[in-house]
Structure 1
């Protein structure tokens, strides 16, 4: 069903400074998102190149609600295809990762190459002249559904679209530069996990792009002066509004005369201290002085720098009111043993029980449970104005408005 018929037929007159609650609760709009966003003219992150180091190594993942296989199909070649046999639609590969010479469906043993080409069909010629496929059956017409693949700084992206712009053009110069900043050195994957969030996926992406909630909702950040709005920082948005970077520099914090000091905000608790200060020990990671940077790539990818805690997050929709957030923590191959220990200690900040990000796992549900019976009501997005543009402050919802500007363009709303 077209998005125009399934979603809000008319967006509020105020534009992206208002968002109707219905976008978080409409099942038909959710179905249209799968087609227009996740299987549309958009690049989707599917994995690190180092996760599939040898020819034949693979990992299974998701693009929206579509299961996908990423495989290293040649020394410098990656292939991605839908994890679904072309014969009767069975799941082709169940393991999260592994090594294969080819992919064979357990149901009827159709076999596929590492590029996703159908190479063999069990009993294609029948037995003793009986049965089998018709004489004009052409295996080349029944390959797996292949995706376009491009690699940027060791990150592998895939797209269902034949018309989407090349990856760096799609990201734009500013966003590409930040990816290259974060992945300028060979990456070492430190671990991964996921958490289920009981809210619409877009509520989490709004949270990622909402830079000013961090020092209000996350008391740990402000109590231990990791990230305050009094630090030098800002928001960088691409032209579409869909991609953003929120950044700050911890060394520039000056709290004198601010609301943090006055006690006006639920943003600090001076009664708490750390018994073991090594939990927050860090070192200057990048020469630009940025200590906290969150990059959101439309529609559902996040590149994270919280001091020396580095991670990629990918959000997978699991229905209108549920999604699954996949975290992959990383460092660099040339990290010293002490730097590696520091990254692992700082990993306590993030994840389902993270000292910082724990609240992000529930706050979306606070919204979801409250809006269900009021689909025609609206959110208000006017912090920092009503425009979609880069700003020299993080006290703004400009990047949230940018998400909705890009969303509306792709969805035709």
Structure 2
């Protein structure tokens, strides 16, 4: 009897265990499948939203010309007065009279349209005298060049309305030479300021920035905010994010400049292969090197390079490799090692920007939130230092910038 009971009890246990297993295992598998489906759907929706909000650009060998009246360029080549009289009336409120120039023009450099100067002007908004940068159109410009320069003015009126982008102060379009007045940024180019920090003693009269880990987060966060504005508000990319295209004030506020590629996208909706190729390869995302479609995530890759530049006080990226060696190494999953000045958190952020697949990289809002979070706990006292000096010719060769 005892043996029979034990056998009977054991048999019931086995049967119950099998029955429980038959019920539990499908439940677990079903639950896992539902979770997997939810994750896939969430990722699909997220990618769709990002595709909808981000510009997608195809590199073109040639720009399609902006549509204008038939033979307009030819008819207007020698009709300067007619062109200026027929310009967009929205520019009129930005007009700064010649008498508002309160000092002599100081030559800075040659630009793509003509000489670039700086001088003091009286603004029309009553804010008084300010220093401004003058982009000028050369005196012997033809009709096409004048129309292009007027398009550039309209671009600045519409686009350059963010605190992290160099702002338009006004223009002069009544007579040649035409002028575009931009805000003057006291500290100059960020890259040159970073190099200056490497020197043991500052030269007399030059600005010395106090750069800490917290400052790095602040600088790159401002840049990310400007790029987020370009993407979300105007469906534009910057296309050439680098320390050389950022200006900095003594108080460490920064301004994005170097908007020529964004201007081309604004005018035509495409990016010419010729102009895109002018950006040094060490700053380019892999898809740009192989001429795949470009999105905001292509700028995200370059943003990671910018972070590297700032934290290393202006070191060239991939200093040990020649430009043409970079892409094959990136294909084999090579990424720059962590700089000695960088925290682990900041380096992780760089690597996140350098994901091979664009959709694996963070968008601007994610980057801004992450930078804000990390900045709260960053060191705001210890100054960043780099022991070695940089020779300009050596930098140009290592960076592929000539």
Structure number with greater Rg is 2
Larger helix proportion of the pair:
2
**Greater relative CO, 1 or 2 (CA 8 Å, sep 6+):** 1
Larger strand proportion of the pair:
1
Question: Which TM-score band applies after superposition, normalised by the shorter structure?
Answer: under 0.3
